[in-house]
Amino acid sequence: MNPFSMVVCIVLIVMVARVLTARYRAMENIPQNPVDSIDAPRLRDEVQQMKERIQVLERVITDNHKSVDLDREIERLRDR
């Protein structure tokens, strides 16, 4: 092997090593579980509140109450 090809091989090996090192470091910085982010508890609470509101709205819509009962239910929801 002549000196020129040896230099080319060494440069190639160093470049591949740096690319692999950069890739490995980038993979370490990616959060493994995005649910564990800072906003997760706030988002869980918001989803729970939305589910409760949807349940109430479904109940209000599907019940066959008089319009007076419907008005009372809507006013009760506004007061929350």
Mean pLDDT, the chain, as a whole number?
A: 82
Domain locations in the chain?
1-30, 35-80
Q: What is the pLDDT of residue 67?
A: 66
What pLDDT band is residue 32 in, cutting at 50, 70 and 90? low
Q: Which residue has the higher pLDDT, 78 or 48?
A: 48
Q: Mean pLDDT lowest for which of 6-20, 35-49, 58-72?
A: 58-72
Nearest one of 55, 54, 58, 60 to 75, comparing CA atoms: 60
Length of the chain: 80
Q: What is the pLDDT of residue 9?
A: 93
The burial of 56, by beta-carbon neighbours within 10 Å (0-12 exposed, 13-18 middle, 19 or more buried), is given as middle
DSSP annotation of 79 reads: T
